[in-house]
Amino acid sequence: MENLQHADGHLGFVVWHLRAPLLAWAPSRLRLQEASNQVRQIHENSFIAMPMPSIVLVGVLPFGCIFIQLFFILKSIW
């Protein structure tokens, strides 16, 4: 029974390495192209994509996560 489980792990490894190159090679050989004659609308940036809100979020989110974790760790110590 143990040998059968060990063989299944190797089988998955072999199948993955046989399949992965095919999946990487096939789309380039098929040369599938998307129809590009349609004009695409460019939307305005959302609120989060603007510089100031993104700067605030990038600073506040990590600080807030660390602050909450430290709060609970220190609360459990004292």
Residue 4 has pLDDT above 60, yes or no: no
- Report the predicted TM-score, pTM, of the whole model to 2 decimal places: 0.35
pLDDT tens by residue, 19-67? 888 877 776 677 665 556 677 777 777 776 778 878 888 888 889 999 9
User: CA 34, CA 26: separation in Å to the nearest integer?
Assistant: 16
Give the residue-averaged pLDDT of 3-27: 71
DSSP string of 38-56, one letter each residue: SPPPPPPPPTTTSHHHHHH
First-to-last CA distance in the chain? 51
